């Protein structure tokens, strides 16, 4: 596997606000993320963590503010081609095989550091190539969703509770993959109730419960 270093990128949120059911989840939110940086979103349930990730990924509109990728509004940039999202749901097609899922992801993106075979080995799914996803355990489906990150070349990973359904061994694996991505010049925005250990990588934190 040849290591690919990601190009310099910047991601900026300016004065962002989100309202749901006439209730302000957060407002006036500002932050900047650059290469080799991690941002952990914290806050009590209902503070808007998942809503913020969905806004970043373009699944819903913000109520105010701007999201900027490399000094350009995300809708006018190549942001969505350079961003990868793993949410509460694993984002895989249960009626397809493991390899068919990864081939579909690869067809829609630029190839990354890992081949499909290498990615499956990395996430401990080697030998499951032809398994129908429906037959996998919850933890295995989560590992498959992570394999999608490895085979595609994305600067920004957006992860909503990536450690869900993962055992201790899986947690260490995910942390190692995150560390590898950051060392290659990547960026990560995530929510997690798990204490992160990313070696010497500094993790920035924003508590959305305080952004009112």
What DSSP string runs through 6-70?
A: PPP-EEEEEEEEEEETTEEEEEEEEEEEETTEEEEEE-STTSSHHHHHHHHTTSS--SEEEEEET
| Residue 1 pLDDT | 44
**Domain-located, residue 87:** no
The verdict on 108 and 173 lying in the same domain is no
Domain boundary (108, 126, 154) is at 154
Spatial separation of the C-alpha atoms in residues 193 and 171, rounded to whole Å: 12
Residue 207 lies in a domain: yes
Same domain flag for 78 and 162: yes
Whether the Cβ atoms of residue 211 and residue 27 lie closer than 8 Å to each other = yes
pLDDT tens across the length of the chain (212 residues): 445 577 899 999 999 999 998 899 999 999 999 999 999 999 988 899 999 999 999 999 999 999 999 999 999 999 998 999 998 777 889 999 999 999 998 887 888 889 999 999 999 999 999 999 999 998 899 899 999 999 988 999 999 998 887 888 888 888 999 999 999 999 999 998 877 777 778 889 999 988 86
Q: Are residue 1 and residue 78 in the same domain, yes or no?
A: yes
Looking at the structure, do residues 166 and 75 belong to the same domain, yes or no?
yes
The CATH number assigned to the domain holding 209 equals 3.40.50.300
76 lies in the same domain as 111: no
Question: What pLDDT was estimated at residue 4?
Answer: 58
Is 140 in the same domain as 178? no
Q: Using CA atoms, how far apart are residues 177 and 171, in angstroms rounded to an integer? A: 10
- Are 76 and 177 members of one domain? yes
* Structural domain boundaries, residue 209: 1-82+158-212
Instruction: For residues 183 and 137, state if they share a domain.
Output: no
Closest Cα partner for 85 from 120, 119, 53?
A: 53
Q: Is 1 in the same domain as 77?
A: yes
163 and 147, same structural domain? no
Rg over alpha carbons for the chain, rounded to the nearest Å, is 17
One domain, residues 150 and 166: no
Tokens standing for 121? 């080995």
Domain boundary among 107, 128, 154: 154
Neighbours of 94 (CB within 10 A): 12
Number of domains forming the structure of the chain: 2
Look-up of token digits 């509004």: 73
């Amino acid at each position: 596997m040849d290591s690919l270093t990601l190009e310099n990128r910047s991601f900026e949120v300016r004065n962002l606000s989100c309202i749901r059911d006439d209730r302000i989840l957060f407002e006036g939110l500002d932050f900047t993320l650059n290469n080799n940086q991690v941002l952990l979103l914290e806050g009590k349930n209902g503070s808007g963590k998942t809503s913020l990730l969905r806004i970043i990924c373009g699944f819903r509109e913000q109520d105010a503010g701007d999201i900027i990728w490399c000094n350009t509004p995300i809708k006018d940039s190549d942001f969505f081609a350079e961003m990868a999202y793993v949410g509460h749901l694993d984002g895989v097609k249960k009626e397809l095989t493991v390899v068919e899922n990864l081939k579909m992801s690869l067809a829609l993106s630029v190839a990354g550091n890992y081949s499909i075979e290498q990615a499956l080995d990395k996430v401990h799914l080697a030998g499951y190539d032809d398994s129908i996803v429906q037959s996998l355990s919850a933890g295995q489906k989560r590992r498959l969703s992570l394999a999608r990150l490895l085979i595609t070349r994305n600067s920004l990973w957006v992860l909503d509770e990536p450690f869900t359904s993962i055992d201790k061994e899986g947690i260490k694996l995910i942390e190692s993959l995150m560390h590898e991505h950051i060392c290659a010049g990547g960026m990560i925005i995530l929510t997690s109730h798990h204490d992160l250990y990313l070696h010497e990588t500094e993790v920035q934190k924003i508590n959305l419960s305080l952004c009112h």
